[in-house]
Chain A
Amino acid sequence: MGKQYETVIGLEVHVELATKTKIFCGCSTAFGAAPNAHTCPVCTGMPGSLPVLNKQVVEYAVAVGLATDCDITRVCKFDRKNYFYPDNPQNYQISQLYLPICRNGHVDIKTADGTKSVGIHEIHMEEDAGKLIHDEWEDCSLVDYNRSGVPLIEIVSEPDMRSADEVIAYLEKLRLIIQYLGASDCKLQEGSMRADVNLSVREVGAEKFGTRTEMKNLNSFRAIARAIEGERARQIELLESGQEVIQETRRWDDTKECSYAMRSKEDAQDYRYFPDPDLVPVHINEEWIEQIKAAQPEFRDEKMARYKAEYELPDYDIDILTESKHMADIFEQTVAICGQPKKVSNWLMVETMRLLKEQEMEPEDIRFAPENLAKLIALVEAKEINGTVAKEVFEKIFDENIDPEKYVEENGLKTVNDEGALRKTVEEVIAANPQSVEDYQNGKEKAIGFLVGQTMKAMKGKADPGMVNQLLRELL
């Protein structure tokens, strides 16, 4: 009988903070600018330049620390992590090793066996590196320093997770907390949230941890789950065949579904950390922490209670709507315009969730304007369009953020409420389908459904099905 193995996983999660400027200089952090348009002597590592800490970075880091039950380090400092790589213009990264801003926290996750607490070892502040582009034509790499100096927090968990499901639950919980705080949009695909997975295996019941590897380049929840399964299997296979796991950093290739070792011994991992003499210590007193606490936005639990009291929504709706801060924002903005909470909720819970799933998108990717959803609801309310057309129009809103009023007008999708025109079509349908008419008259209720369908088809979907049904019954 084979040995039973347990997977032990700890995570290092990097989150890009939602500040307007970089961590140590007044360059913009806006995404999508021309290469190196957001750079200056500080973030390109020019000799003699002086970094000055962005206060908002400290406040976001403290807010995340408080929300994850961390102790806030009252005197914290920055250290230099030394290594050579072209994306790192100073030849060191400013980070925190000795006195990170937050320590000893935890988040609670839901697992199949109930609630589990995942420990947070520490949270530290640091700067992001630039971006390397590998030139296709010439034997060189090109460097864009727009991202150099963008503020990050790195959240280091304890090795408390035991499966891919727990890892995903932990990441989703972290993302929710940080999004509600407004500290980051946490998009895995765009890299504003990045997770490195430290994983080892050991025989069930063993006290000691096995040798761990660190897996990088994981940019979706699915990639993370696959990488965990793949690395667990690779390590077990090594152990079963009498070999050893080597402690190393591996890069996950999600298309090939396998990983390979990243660094050779040529670049030894010896970072020679030392305190950064350019930056002065940060003292965080009780008063400042209280101010940060007072400025915190509404958390999910508070929002859920408010939705129940203010909008009288079912718990099921509230659960889905508040699962993403962005979704909740769209909900509130739409309700503020049209005043129909349940209708707005239905469009978001049913159609929006369906389209997100079909297109493999996250709620954060929703791009339509609340005004357009509010207009659509008003069109349905006024019986200007029927339910089927409304769904069609909503897909357009979801995909292209169109103005539904204009779209309905331009495409002639308005419901025909003119009874004369409708009656004429119904009469034609009755004349053309004698068999169904006979069936109906012989008591086959179903036949009327067919006739309604034929009428809707003849009307190109632009009729009110209720009205068609009523007319049919009347004429038969």
Chain B
Amino acid sequence: MANIISDETIEYVGILAKLELSDKEKEQAKKDMGSMLDYIDKLGELDTEGVEPMSHVFPVENVFREDVVTNGDEREAVLGNAPAKKDGMFAVPRTFEG
């Protein structure tokens, strides 16, 4: 494997993804990420001179909605799956302003 993922990197990626990994899982993740990066390096060998970066697989453009209200009050359904709710709102662990 050409790409070696450091302990710091896997720790940082864990924080960004809000994942708590066990030591065993960390080792596996390091290996997986390394081989993924190897594959990306392989793609990097291709000559892409003059090729537009692709952000969408279908050649579709300009799909729009008109500015017309189509949705009604769906509070019941929207809150239906909430693990906790109060006063018609989603209740979440306390956050500090910011």
Contact = CB atoms under 8 A, between A and B. Distances in A.
B75 A277 contact: no
B64 A53 contact: yes
Interface stretch (B20-28, B29-37, B38-46, B88-96): B88-96
Contacts of B56: 275, 277, 280-281
Nearest first, the 9 closest Cβ-Cβ pairs linking A and B are: A26-B70, A275-B55, A142-B89, A55-B64, A56-B67, A143-B90, A86-B92, A262-B98, A35-B88
Interface in A128-176: 132-135, 138-145
A52 interface: yes
A280 B74 contact: no
A39 B69 contact: no
B79 A36 contact: yes
Interface string B58-82: 1011111111111101110011000
Given A55-B64, A84-B18, A132-B95, A35 B70 contact: no
Nearest to A40: B71
Contact of A280 (B18, B61, B71): B61
Contacts of A280: 56, 58, 60-63
Interface of B: 12, 15-16, 18, 55-58, 60-71, 73-75, 78-79, 84, 86-95, 97-98
Given A55-B64, A132-B95, A251-B97, 20 more contacts: A21-B68, A26-B65, A26-B70, A39-B75, A39-B78, A52-B65, A55-B66, A58-B64, A86-B92, A138-B91, A140-B86, A140-B92, A142-B90, A142-B91, A143-B90, A263-B98, A275-B55, A280-B60, A281-B61, A281-B62
Contacts of B12: 268
Given A35-B89, A37-B75, A140-B86, A21 B95 contact: no
A229 to B, nearest CB: 23
B82 to A, nearest CB: 9
A239 B86 CA distance: 48
Interface residues of A, number: 52
A144 B94 contact: no
Nearest to A89: B90
Interface string A157-200: 00000000000000000000000000000000000000000000
Interface of A: 19-21, 25-28, 34-41, 44, 52-56, 58, 77, 82, 84-86, 132-135, 138-145, 251, 262-263, 266, 268, 270, 272, 275, 277, 280-283
A266 B18 CA distance: 11
A283 B63 contact: no
A135 B86 contact: yes
A85 B95 contact: yes
Contacts of A141: 91-95
Contact of A54 (B64, B88, B94, B95): B64
Contacts of B98: 251, 262-263
A85 B91 CA distance: 13
A39 B95 CA distance: 22
